[in-house]
Chains A and B, each alone.
Chain A
Amino acid sequence: MVILKSVMLKLLEKLGYESLYLLEVTGRMGIFLFSCLGRVLAPPYKLNPIIRQIHFIGSRSVFVILFTGTFTGMVLALQGYYTLRKFGSEGLLGSAVALSLLRELGPVLTALMVIGRAGSAITAEVGIMRNSEQIDALECMAIDPYKYLIAPKFVAGLIAMPLLTFIFDVVGIFGGWAVGVGLLDINQGTFFQSMYKAVAWQDINMGIIKALIFGLLMIWICSVKGYFLHLDRSGGFGAEGVSRTTTSAVVLSSVSILVWDYLISAIML
């Protein structure tokens, strides 16, 4: 009886500890987001750091996006063709490819690729700066690390992610066209006609909104993880701390993007 009681107490204690920790982390992340977004809006506005970040997050991801976009469109056409043929509606291939890309695969796959390329790099960069006291040094020089270090990344993420998604969609559609029209002998007119009829502005808007939200999520999670590396319960020390945190930032942002993808679709459809 006494043992049972002490076990129960331990369990409750553990539960309380965990929920407090969760609350603390969530609160910290929330404050971080609002502070950073506040700094984005506050003057002075410097273009140079933003352009540098867009170059890093955006331009240097273009090649990966071209590649994955093309192949995604191609495989969509291939799979779609054999499915649609069962119902005798191969003619709808164009619309099937375009809608899947615009609404779902474009934003999601782009975000996942950019997380792998740029998100991980952001966590590692900010985490190393935290670990080697460079962020402390900024603060002591009365330079606001949110404004100087993080805010340009948010702006760049919000600009780059929709543009990259757009590129992904376009090359994806051409990939689908290449397979559908070039390989599977679908009439080119039919392919584009069905696309033209089926795609509404709403689908495009949904893609843009998703891209914006995914961009925000990626920058937020990846930079906050690096920024508060030193407060990590499992210990953010040294090279191992940075590597562990980077991994967890990539996992967490990928998972939250998939969850939010579902939520946005459910709300907007």
Chain B
Amino acid sequence: MDSEIVIELINVEKSFGSQKVLDRVNLQVRRGTTLVIVGASGQGKSVILKHMLGLVRPDAGQVKVFDKDIANCSKSELKEVRKSFGVLFQNVALFDSMTVYDNIALPLRERTHLSEAEIRANVEEKLAMMDLDKAGNKFPAQISGGMQKRVGLARALVLDPSIVFFDEPTTGLDVNKSNEIYRLFYKTQAQLGYTAVIVSHDVPKIFKLSDHVALLANKQIQGCLTPEEFQLSDNPHIRSFVETTMGPIYSSEREESSFYEKV
């Protein structure tokens, strides 16, 4: 648990116009671990991720990746840092005028010197891994939302990144597919040992995958704890989050039925 810190947010503040979204956010991610950020919709989880990616600059505070303050470094330094990133955006952001195949091949074509045959082998392996064998020649607009998510994941993983950022990787997937994706994360992380930051609403299932869980509420991180500690925490925000998202699992059947009657 004491591996070095790869990502660190120190007192990060961010406002959009008059709306304050983040207020002195502190967060650390250690090498090889998985951090899951949870929280209600619209709290700023994606904004935190964008800070880590260097897409959004904090109004105050520091964002350090590999000990480099990425909000205040040169473009070429930022690019160097980003070479170890694999990113899945919440809206996936596939290149919509390219086929699925070309989307996954693009990082290989632009960043490596592999031959077209090696690229093909690599991309086809990723397509098979994501259960997309037959979708290679389709365009993003021609596949379903869940398939787009999987293409985005394949694209994020194709260069064997050392840090991955997944914004809601399983939203829109059926239970089987999302289980499959979780198994895949587990396997690839064991293989590649990457550091992962995942934003997810899939509580409590995502807890199995995580080393740390951080709740974003009230513009701040309410404790960054192991999943077990998280569920037992007496921080009021975390308690109420745990109760609302996981309550029915622990409540007796009678309580639950009265809950539904009330609704």
Inter-chain CA distance A134–B95, complex, in Å, is 6
CB distance from A163 to the nearest CB of B (A): 25
Partner of B82, one of A125, A133, A142: A142
Residues of A within 8 A of B111 (CB): 141-143
- Point out which of B80, B106, B159 has the most chain A C-beta atoms below 10 A from its C-beta: B106
Partner of B53, one of A128, A132, A140, A143: A140
How would residues 121 to 161 of chain A score, 1 for a CB under 8 Å from any chain B CB and 0 otherwise?
00001001100111011011111100010000000000000
Asked if B87 contacts A140 (CB within 8 A), the reply is yes
Residues of B within 8 A of A140 (CB): 53, 55, 82, 85, 87
How would residues 100 to 142 of chain B score, 1 for a CB under 8 Å from any chain A CB and 0 otherwise?
0000001100110000000000000000000000000000000
Cβ < 8 Å to A, chain B residues 80-102: 80, 82-83, 85, 87, 89, 91, 93-97
Residues of B within 8 A of A125 (CB): 97
Asked if A134 contacts B93 (CB within 8 A), the reply is yes
CB distance from B72 to the nearest CB of A (A): 17
Inter-chain CA distance A179–B79, complex, in Å, is 60
CB distance from A56 to the nearest CB of B (A): 12
Residues of B within 8 A of A129 (CB): 95
Asked if A139 contacts B82 (CB within 8 A), the reply is yes
Inter-chain CA distance A17–B107, complex, in Å, is 42
- Report the tally of A-B residue pairs with Cβ distances under 8 A: 50
Residue of A nearest to B107 (CB): A141
Partner of B91, one of A128, A132, A141: A132
Inter-chain CA distance A143–B97, complex, in Å, is 17
Report the contact-size class of chain A (Cβ under 8 Å from the partner).
10 to 19
- Point out which of B87, B89, B110, B159 has the most chain A C-beta atoms below 10 A from its C-beta: B110
Partner of A133, one of B83, B89, B159: B89
Inter-chain CA distance A136–B95, complex, in Å, is 11
CB distance from B129 to the nearest CB of A (A): 19
Residue of B nearest to A48 (CB): B109
Asked if A132 contacts B96 (CB within 8 A), the reply is yes
Asked if A137 contacts B89 (CB within 8 A), the reply is yes
Residues of B within 8 A of A139 (CB): 54-55, 82
CB distance from B55 to the nearest CB of A (A): 5
Residues of B within 8 A of A137 (CB): 87, 89, 93-95
Inter-chain CA distance A84–B43, complex, in Å, is 75
Asked if B93 contacts A141 (CB within 8 A), the reply is no
Asked if B93 contacts A144 (CB within 8 A), the reply is no
Inter-chain CA distance A128–B140, complex, in Å, is 15
Residues of B within 8 A of A136 (CB): 53, 55, 89, 93
Asked if A142 contacts B96 (CB within 8 A), the reply is no
Partner of A148, one of B55, B83, B87, B110: B110
Asked if A142 contacts B93 (CB within 8 A), the reply is no
Inter-chain CA distance A140–B111, complex, in Å, is 12
CB distance from B263 to the nearest CB of A (A): 35
CB distance from A139 to the nearest CB of B (A): 7
Asked if A142 contacts B83 (CB within 8 A), the reply is yes
Inter-chain CA distance A133–B91, complex, in Å, is 8
- Point out which of A125, A139, A140 has the most chain B C-beta atoms below 10 A from its C-beta: A140
Inter-chain CA distance A128–B83, complex, in Å, is 25
Partner of A144, one of B79, B94, B95: B79
Inter-chain CA distance A141–B53, complex, in Å, is 10
Asked if A141 contacts B82 (CB within 8 A), the reply is yes
What residues make up the interface of A, taking CB atoms closer than 8 Å to B?
125, 128-129, 132-134, 136-137, 139-144, 148
Q: Which 9 A-B pairs have the closest CB atoms?
A: A133-B93, A142-B82, A137-B93, A140-B87, A142-B83, A143-B110, A142-B79, A141-B107, A140-B53
What residues make up the interface of B, taking CB atoms closer than 8 Å to A?
53-55, 79-80, 82-83, 85, 87, 89, 91, 93-97, 106-107, 110-111, 159
A-B contact pairs, 6 of them (CB 8 A): A125-B97, A132-B96, A134-B94, A137-B94, A139-B82, A140-B55
